[in-house]
Structure 1
Amino acid sequence: MSGSDALDRLARLAGIEDGWWDFFGEWRVVPPETKRVFLAAMGLPADSDEQVWASLKDLESRPWRRALEPVLMADEHSAPPSIAVTLPAEADEVEHSWVLEEELGIRHSGSFRPGDLRWGEEYQLDGRLIHRRWLDLPALPPCGYHRLILSGPKGPLAEMALIVTPPRAFVPEVVERGAGAWGIATQIYSLRSERDWGVGNYGNLADLAEGAAKLGAACVGINPLHALFPADPERFSPYSPSSRRFLNVAYIDIEAIPEFRECLEAKRMFASPGYQATLARLRGYSQIEYPDVMRLARPMLEVLNRWFRRTCMGDDNPRGQAFRAFQAEQGEAGRRFAVFEALHDRFARDGKAYWRQWPEEYRRPDSPAVEDFVLEHVEQVEFFQWLQFIADGQLAEAQARGKAAGAAIGLYRDLAVGIAGDGAEAWAQQDSLALGVSVGAPPDPLALKGQDWGLVPFNPVTLREHFYAPFTQVMAANMRHAGALRLDHAMSLARLYWVPPGQPADQGAYVRYPAEDLFRLVALESQRNRCLVIGEDLGTVPDGFRERMDRMGIFAYRVMVFEKLADGAFRAPEDFDAQALAIAATHDLPSLRGWWAGKDIDRREKLDLYPREGQAAEERAARAADRIAMAAALAGQGLLPAGFPVSPALTDTQAVALAAAAHAYLGRSASRLMMVQMEDVLGQELQMNLPGTTTQHPNWRLRYKADTAAILADRRMSDTAEGLRGNGRG
């Protein structure tokens, strides 16, 4: 085998695909240089032929160097599993033992001589003969995460995660009966009220959840709530988080914190003329100024935390006890996150925001220097834990209020596809990630030059070796206080498009993930948390992926403006996928009115986002045809008059009529869940995010003109809700 052949084999074993079909129908071969970069990010050096051979030997022999595989997945109600036991041939007659610890604490045990087990195969490893045999367990434990420990005469030899999974994800009854259910989709930061501090907050979300439920909505869909960067508030994209396991503290409703009502220092600060003037200015902006919001909020939060420590941390104080219980529940992961926040706070002031720029002794979470820092800065670390305690409590309150008001699902959360490489999760879980590369997307109609999202992916080579815990912990954290979860770019369960550092976004390659295992883990967490799962399956979708989603009970994501037939006509309502969520547009598209007017095309042309001359004109022509087709589809259902204008510009009345017709159309669809975007109902021209841009468009900063209470009371919203109820939804 030549060096190039060995490189190709190593890349395939690691999951790197040989090439991909681009949007224009051309096969793009992945060059050797890209493979070497990706392999290095997976911990498989491949800069030279010698390194390639060594990495190939390492990867091929790993299953023979360990007594147990890291993970065994078993189906609920299947036969008792057989465990592959891999030991040197000379151990055949040596007594060994095993212990199976079920998740709830029940223990099972047994002993065996390897030579007595059912034969498997053998392998020569470094001149030593290795035997693999099969250990048959007497019974299958229930659904959940269990641990099998193998021991020899000198003690434990290996540990395996035995994970038993259900056949399908959880699907709530409300989307199974009648015509299904509907919900309201929004962005939490866009919400307004008399109690926001320049950005929407968890209190606003609670008001919306309760009000939407009273209108008949089963759920309220929101943007990701992931932790961002408090020490660097310019980093405000909800899809580029510091950690997906913890919450964004910028959304804390400060006036709802119990200490705010009690602390005299906080009251004086809040009542001061300068504070009130700044607050009024921030509330009046049409776009969020995140640094100004944090400069106003941070000192107040510190004052309230000091008051909390002074008044609530006694042994007999229920609120203090609740905080300690929260710390214990969050465990080591919660503590490490808070430690990162404290370190990031310190070093960002010195211009060293990236943890790889910190002094070397702080770059690993388990270093002695980090432990010394924690001992010296206990109160600061606990301040960040307290912020999570507050945010978690307020999010729980939002879910509780929505459910109490009649929402069958409640909050519908969103999970970003990856994390920022300089954030808390990357620092805490360096061995589980492919540091040095980023996730993106090849060219598609939304971003014709491709996209580099700057997000760090899981390392598919080491994910199983960490018992899939990094993946399942993220899933569980985002199903907390929620009845539904959207997986942004759900294709990441099967493969991700990686981009080499410093290269254009169209120079990447696809990397495969253990799809079968990840799908089953999603189903397990879905059932455990009674949480509906919606997979955003837009863009380039691998063969068989949607069929697998359907089998596993994971809902598809159907966007009306993309639901067209080969002849350009829009799909009839009854032909929409049943196991799906239907919506008019998404946060990456303009509102329905903006789409009709081609505002997204105008913006992309102005910002030079088209890869070739004349493409904007082609898109305008296609959009004109789409307007005609949509008007015909809506008129065909009797929802718009036959003469509805198809020119780009609409009057306010026409925009509202278009939105009402589109929502009625989706309300009639076969999809079991449909969502209503507030900006569409109100006929506003908003686009929350323009893919392919950063500062060129006010991404993640736009706010609604009216507050939440006024929107819920708006006749257009109540008419939409009434129409959906009339179609049998809810």
Structure 2
Amino acid sequence: MKRETIDELARRHGIGETRPSPEKDAVTVSTETKIRILEALDVDLDAPDQPGGPLAGQTTATSETLPPSYLPPFLAKTRVWGVTLEPYALRSSRNWGIGDFQDLCDIARVFGPLGADFIGLTPLHAPFLADPDRCSPYEPSSRQRLNPLYIAVDRVPGYRADPERERRAADLRETAHVDYVGVAGLKLEALRDIWTGWTSENSGLSARQEFETFILREGTPLHLHALFEALSFTLSARGLGAGWHAWPKSFKNPESPDVTAFAETHADEIRFHMWLQWLAHDQLDTASRAANAAGMRIGLYLDLAVGEALDGAATWGERDLYVSTATVGSPPDPFAADGQDWHLAAFQPAAIASGDPSPYRRMVTAAMRYAGAIRIDHAAALRRLFLVPLDQKPDGGAYVDYPEKDLLAILADTSAHHECLVIGEDLGVLPDGLQDDLTAARILSYRILSYERTDDGFKPGEDYPALSLACISTHDHQTFAGWWRGADIATRADHGILPPDITQAHREARAVERKDLARALNAAGIAQPARLPPGSASDHELTGIVVDAHRFIARTASALAAVRLADMTGETEPTNVPGTSDGYPNWKPKLSVTLEALPESPLLVAISTAMQEERPRSRA
């Protein structure tokens, strides 16, 4: 096929002509890359005269045409604050080695009286239950389903205490890192026992009716998810893997005769996995209500991952909705010279907003039904994604456009229906005008303190947009104390992520950043010690500046300010170290303080007091 024809097809289907380079120059996307991406988009290259893709004839969204997402009326008159955390990291005297939905209820009762208006959580998406160590919440098996490991087993009707299980649960509580294999084994064993009694005894007519109503409401997608889980456990036990890419061909298609036969002989197991989803739904709904009952006007704030695992339940059950031969990543840039491949499956641009309800609407609804706010990870995906063909390096990828207007319209409509505000993680390389579009659509910007800098230093608080969330750090960062000490730089060096010369440059830059931040705090009228704490300062020596930094974000113009629980408990072990896999226990470290001891934690008291002083809860 002629290059001119390939170029025309690529334009019709929203494939970018160029991509960035580490030198910040635009690199022309090769014809080979265009062909690979077109194939990933299911374009028939033998029919070059076919109509254009879903974006043919569309123009970039403009503020005049964008419907606004929901914004709580009280935010027009007041600024609020809340706490963000990793739910699995919660310790309590009763959980089974992993934070659970009951812990969320209890932590709401801690922070509600302190004036917090929301609890922000990393994604609660369904993982690979048959392979619990695949624990990244940002590489889920399905974004439309919940994580059953968060079920509080001791709160499930029909649970009966068992001394041996209680002993195992106590052992799991004592580990420094979540033992996902141990937790999954214990919880699923207990839940299967409860299920046996639930199906054979009178579990209550009301509960049975609610379960059947849930199954009816969720329909075929729920059944396919449960079928995947049953198959995943069965085939994994045979050594064939939990993900469908490793399965025999006859099990890779949900409509194959072998899968149909399996479903008929494993009906009870399939219903068990639907029941787990119902329990998770019920307990998350209870946690949401507990947050509101504690006085939180926003309540739970849930995170949406940018994609799903290539071999998970979502891509197995609804394969036509996903790009199958390319993955989501990012192009080479000054901070990642080789680019990144996130190994995530993306929705097909032609399918994402199509159907009634569309895949995108189903996904956001799955979170909004429980939440007062959602955060969209990698908000640039509303307009484009960088797709990397399988078996290619990121420099062989290209940007592909998505129907931004349609996606923003879905967010506006769904958020209004559920009265749920929307936050967009608008960091990194963004397409021109996207932040303006997000503002016009009343989607809050995501502002991290260390990123809010110019050549003159840190931005003053009044320069933060009103429609934004301000925070010190996220799950991908060290705590503020760790940042001050340069622990993030040391960690990257220890894991060989960056070479020594860049590491040294970063250390020198951090010394400047510390001084710049001190000046910003002084300019904001926040008192500083006569001598700046050194980079080697102890936790005690850093207490003052940790609290002052939080006071600074509380004084910003941002409607929302978020405080990481890890900052309040002085954690030294990072949650996640981007760029590592087996070399660091990502998504496993627990908090060092139990839920019951939180109210007496001196740093928590000091930070929450500062937040209340700067953002007093007003009912006006």
Match of 1:293 among 180, 183, 195: 183
Match of 2:93 among 194, 201, 205: 194
Partner residue of 1:604? 492
Q: Which amino acid in 1 is paired with 2:124?
A: L
Match of 1:225 among 112, 117, 124: 124
Unmatched segments (≥5 aa) in structure 2: none
Query: Is residue 341 from structure 1 mapped to residue 229 from structure 2 by the alignment?
Result: yes
Q: Which moved more, 1:296-305 or 1:482-491?
A: 296-305
Task: Tell me the TM-score normalized by structure 2.
Answer: 0.94
**Aligned positions of 1:387-406 closer than 5 A:** 387-406=276-295
Q: 1:518 to 1:446 in 2, by over 3 A?
A: same
Cα deviations across residues 221-249 of structure 1 (Å, max 9, x unaligned)? 00000000010111100000000000011
Q: 1:553 to 1:404 in 2, by over 3 A?
A: same
**Displacement of 1:429 after TM fit?**
1.3
- More relative contact order in 1 or in 2 (CA 8 Å, sep 6+)? 2
**Aligned positions of 1:692-703 closer than 5 A:** 692-703=579-590
**Displacement of 1:217 after TM fit?**
0.6
Partner residue of 2:613? 726
**Alpha-carbon distance in 2 for matches of 1:563, 1:553:** 21
8 Å Cα contact 1:312/1:320 also seen in 2: no
Cα deviations across residues 53-112 of structure 1 (Å, max 9, x unaligned)? x24222449999xxxx9x9xxx9xx9xxxxxxxxxxxxxxxxxxxxxxxxxxxxxxxxxx
Provide the secondary structure at the position in 2 that maps to 1:184. strand
Query: Is residue 636 from structure 1 mapped to residue 528 from structure 2 by the alignment?
Result: no
Partner residue of 1:95? none
Match of 1:376 among 262, 265, 285: 265
Query: Is residue 501 from structure 1 mapped to residue 381 from structure 2 by the alignment?
Result: no
**Displacement of 1:682 after TM fit?**
2.8
Q: Which amino acid in 1 is paired with 2:471?
A: I
8 Å Cα contact 1:635/1:642 also seen in 2: no
**Displacement of 1:452 after TM fit?**
1.4
Partner residue of 2:430? 541
Partner residue of 1:673? 560
**Aligned positions of 1:217-296 closer than 5 A:** 217-261=116-160, 267=161, 270-272=162-164, 275-296=165-186
**Alpha-carbon distance in 1 for matches of 2:482, 2:552:** 19
Q: Which amino acid in 2 is paired with 1:554?
A: I
**Displacement of 1:574 after TM fit?**
1.2
Partner residue of 2:467? 579
**Alpha-carbon distance in 1 for matches of 2:500, 2:2:** 42
8 Å Cα contact 2:466/2:558 also seen in 1: yes
8 Å Cα contact 1:228/1:242 also seen in 2: yes
8 Å Cα contact 1:441/1:497 also seen in 2: yes
**Alpha-carbon distance in 2 for matches of 1:388, 1:446:** 40
Match of 1:550 among 427, 439, 455: 439
**Alpha-carbon distance in 2 for matches of 1:200, 1:445:** 38
**Alpha-carbon distance in 2 for matches of 1:173, 1:309:** 46
Instruction: Pick the structure with greater CA Rg.
Output: 1
Q: Which moved more, 1:505-514 or 1:579-588?
A: 505-514
**Alpha-carbon distance in 2 for matches of 1:474, 1:644:** 51
Unmatched segments (≥5 aa) in structure 1: 46-51, 79-164, 262-266
8 Å Cα contact 1:227/1:243 also seen in 2: yes
**Alpha-carbon distance in 2 for matches of 1:594, 1:421:** 34
**Displacement of 1:438 after TM fit?**
0.9
8 Å Cα contact 2:554/2:561 also seen in 1: yes
**Displacement of 1:506 after TM fit?**
4.1
Provide the secondary structure at the position in 2 that maps to 1:534. strand
Q: 1:635 to 1:443 in 2, by over 3 A?
A: farther
8 Å Cα contact 1:667/1:729 also seen in 2: no
Q: 1:446 to 1:334 in 2, by over 3 A?
A: farther
8 Å Cα contact 2:369/2:418 also seen in 1: yes
Provide the secondary structure at the position in 1 that maps to 2:454. coil
Provide the secondary structure at the position in 1 that maps to 2:270. helix
Q: 1:532 to 1:403 in 2, by over 3 A?
A: same
**Displacement of 1:648 after TM fit?**
1.3
**Alpha-carbon distance in 2 for matches of 1:453, 1:166:** 30
Partner residue of 1:330? 218
**Alpha-carbon distance in 2 for matches of 1:424, 1:221:** 26
Partner residue of 1:167? 67
**Displacement of 1:686 after TM fit?**
3.4
Query: Is residue 621 from structure 1 mapped to residue 508 from structure 2 by the alignment?
Result: yes
Cα deviations across residues 681-716 of structure 1 (Å, max 9, x unaligned)? 233323211111112122101111111231234243
Provide the secondary structure at the position in 2 that maps to 1:258. coil
8 Å Cα contact 1:233/1:290 also seen in 2: yes
Query: Is residue 204 from structure 1 mapped to residue 103 from structure 2 by the alignment?
Result: yes
Q: 1:529 to 1:537 in 2, by over 3 A?
A: same
Partner residue of 1:148? none
Q: Which amino acid in 1 is paired with 2:438?
A: M
Match of 2:420 among 531, 552, 555: 531
Provide the secondary structure at the position in 2 that maps to 1:260. coil
Q: Which moved more, 1:188-197 or 1:357-366?
A: 357-366
Q: 1:60 to 1:222 in 2, by over 3 A?
A: closer
Q: Which amino acid in 2 is paired with 1:605?
A: A
**Displacement of 1:638 after TM fit?**
3.6
**Alpha-carbon distance in 1 for matches of 2:550, 2:590:** 22
**Alpha-carbon distance in 2 for matches of 1:711, 1:174:** 29
Q: Which amino acid in 1 is paired with 2:328?
A: V
Partner residue of 1:215? 114
Query: Is residue 177 from structure 1 mapped to residue 86 from structure 2 by the alignment?
Result: no
Q: Which amino acid in 1 is paired with 2:516?
A: A
Task: Tell me the TM-score normalized by structure 1.
Answer: 0.80
Provide the secondary structure at the position in 1 that maps to 2:352. helix
Match of 1:362 among 251, 254, 275: 251
**Displacement of 1:440 after TM fit?**
1.4
**Alpha-carbon distance in 1 for matches of 2:500, 2:542:** 31
**Alpha-carbon distance in 2 for matches of 1:167, 1:392:** 30
Cα deviations across residues 325-344 of structure 1 (Å, max 9, x unaligned)? 11112111111111111111
Q: Which amino acid in 1 is paired with 2:77?
A: R
Q: Which moved more, 1:26-35 or 1:590-599?
A: 26-35
**Alpha-carbon distance in 2 for matches of 1:18, 1:537:** 23
Q: Which amino acid in 1 is paired with 2:21?
A: D
**Alpha-carbon distance in 2 for matches of 1:652, 1:535:** 33
Provide the secondary structure at the position in 1 that maps to 2:581. coil
**Alpha-carbon distance in 2 for matches of 1:453, 1:596:** 29
Q: 1:536 to 1:23 in 2, by over 3 A?
A: farther
**Alpha-carbon distance in 2 for matches of 1:246, 1:505:** 30
**Displacement of 1:188 after TM fit?**
0.2
Cα deviations across residues 480-499 of structure 1 (Å, max 9, x unaligned)? 21100000001100001112
**Displacement of 1:364 after TM fit?**
2.5
8 Å Cα contact 1:631/1:646 also seen in 2: no
8 Å Cα contact 2:20/2:332 also seen in 1: no
**Alpha-carbon distance in 2 for matches of 1:173, 1:650:** 43
Cα deviations across residues 168-212 of structure 1 (Å, max 9, x unaligned)? 10001232213x110001000110101111111111111112221
Provide the secondary structure at the position in 2 that maps to 1:288. coil
**Alpha-carbon distance in 2 for matches of 1:678, 1:478:** 22
8 Å Cα contact 2:481/2:539 also seen in 1: no
Partner residue of 1:31? 30
Cα deviations across residues 227-278 of structure 1 (Å, max 9, x unaligned)? 00010111100000000000011111111111114xxxxx3xx302xx4443
Partner residue of 1:44? 43
Q: State the superposition RMSD in angstroms.
A: 2.4
Q: 1:461 to 1:328 in 2, by over 3 A?
A: closer
Q: 1:603 to 1:169 in 2, by over 3 A?
A: same
